[in-house]
Structure 1
Amino acid sequence: MASLQLTEWNTGVFDCFESTSTCCYGFWCCPCLACSVAGKFGENRCLPLCDICSPAILTSFGIPLFAPPAAIALRSGIRNRYHIKGSMCKDIATSCFCVWCTWCQMHRELKYRKKNPTVVVNMQPPPVMMAPGNQPQFIIQH
């Protein structure tokens, strides 16, 4: 099996000047940006609302939650789908450190991937044809 070539993120976490419209969108309405990222990735648009609601709900039951679950899950999903270098630990650290910047980076990555789709070529060997008279002989022994 051929190994897949891992790539880097198209932009860094703090590369806001790469796409000022994305960062303005994220700064002024991060929940809207997060919901649009989830939708573009093919997930439910309301998924990022878990990042807003779950800490308050869990804290009311005495369970502290500091990591944004939807941001981490989508970041990991984007990394896996597009074969981007990284790890779950880096996804957690990045998402906890600056969740707005994380959503902006994911938005820029999805815009880039839409403009430059990844082409996967499935190379299969040609079918082997056998002549009708040269069928393999099977001997059954009792």
Structure 2
Amino acid sequence: MAAPVDQSQQNFAAAPPAAAAPPQEKPAPAAAAGPANGPINDADIEDWKKRFNEVLAKPSEHVNSKSPATAQSWTNSLFGCFSPIDLCCMTWCLPCVTFGKTHHRVRKNGSMEGWEPINTSCLMFCASSCFALHWIPMSMQRADIRARYNLQGSCLVDIATACCCGLCDLVQAEKESEQREALLRSNGPAAEQYRPAEGMAYGPTA
């Protein structure tokens, strides 16, 4: 006579295997957070506001300013704006991009690290152009270039150049700043002659 089978063992043997848990989906990676203000940089806005306020505080002093007697000639001609052709075409089609590029090199980073084609200065140039006031930031930027690299010129010449030869002015400023920054980074003897030894000279005010 066969031995009786334990009922609990029968139930265990008859129980179907537990279904495997479905694989959990991995959460999608979070998108990289972009800049809060897009191309608008608060530091650039404050810098431009400060510069405009300085000019408005002493307008006659800035208008009569000129480079010191020890200033050097510009390496690039104002009317050499057709070369290189890519810079010429870019400036003709999108002058704001060239303006913003030069601004970044002269005032932020000579190696162009962190530069974006659409930036605060580019947009500010576009906005001022809508009211035919683009010559104001252009002449201010040209004055920056003269002061940084000890180049010849005056505020009145800067204004006249920006008003009468705007595209040529932008190309010349971009080429000059690119060349001068390359020389400054080289740390060679030739680079030292481009460092300004004196500040801007101001004419008598009324």
Do both share a fold (TM > 0.5)?
Answer: yes
2:108 equivalent to 1:49: no
AA partner of residue 53 (structure 1): A
Post-superposition shift, 1:70?
A: 1.1
2: CA distance, partners of 1:41 / 1:22 = 17
> Does the aligned pair in 2 maintain the 1:19–1:108 contact within 8 Å?
no
Contact 2:128–2:134 (CA<8 Å) still a contact in 1? no
Distance in 1 separating the partners of 2:144 and 2:165: 18
Take 1:18 and 1:4, find their aligned partners in 2: how far apart are those partners? 30
Q: Give the one of 158, 166, 177 matched to 1:99.
A: 166
TM-align CA RMSD: 2.6
1:37 counterpart = 2:102? yes
Q: Could you tell me whether the CA contact under 8 Å between 1:55 and 1:66 is conserved in 2?
A: yes
The structural deviation recorded for 1:18 is 4.1
Q: Determine if contact 1:76/1:88 at 8 Å carries over to the other structure.
A: yes
Contact 2:99–2:125 at 8 Å: present in 1 too? no
Q: What is the CA distance between 1:67 and its match in structure 2?
A: 5.6
Per the alignment, residue 148 of structure 2 pairs with 81
**TM-score of the superposed pair, with normalisation by structure 2:** 0.47
Q: Alignment identity in percent?
A: 22
* Deviation, structure 1 residue 4: 7.1
8 Å contact kept, 2:100–2:122: yes
* CA distance in 2: counterparts of 1:73 and 1:32, whole angstroms: 17
Deviations 1:37-68 (A, max 9, x none): 11111259422433331364xx6xxxxx5562
Structure-1 residue corresponding to 2:4: none
State whether residues 91 and 170 of structure 2, in contact with CA within 8 Å, keep that contact through their aligned partners in structure 1.
yes
CA contact (8 A) 1:51 1:70 kept: yes
Could you state the TM-score of these two structures normalised by the residue count of structure 1? 0.66
Q: Following TM superposition, by how much is the alpha carbon of 1:81 offset from its aligned partner in structure 2, in angstroms?
A: 1.0
Structure 2 stretches of 5 or more lacking a match?
A: 1-67, 109-114, 185-190, 198-206
**Superposition map of 1:3-42 within 5 A:** 5-42=70-107
- Alpha-carbon distance between aligned partners in 1 of 2:102 and 2:176, rounded to the nearest angstrom: 10
Partner of 2:183: 116
Q: Deviation at 1:31?
A: 1.2
Q: For residue 57 of structure 2, what is the aligned residue in structure 1?
A: none
Deviation for aligned residue 1:96: 0.5
Contact 1:4/1:83 (<8 A) preserved: no
- Of structures 1 and 2, the larger Rg is shown by 2
* Greater Cα shift, 98-107 or 22-31: 22-31
CA distance in 1, matches of 2:173, 2:128: 21
Indicate the SS of the match to 1:86. Answer: coil
- Structure 1: segments with no counterpart, 5+ residues: 60-64, 123-142
The aligned length equals 112
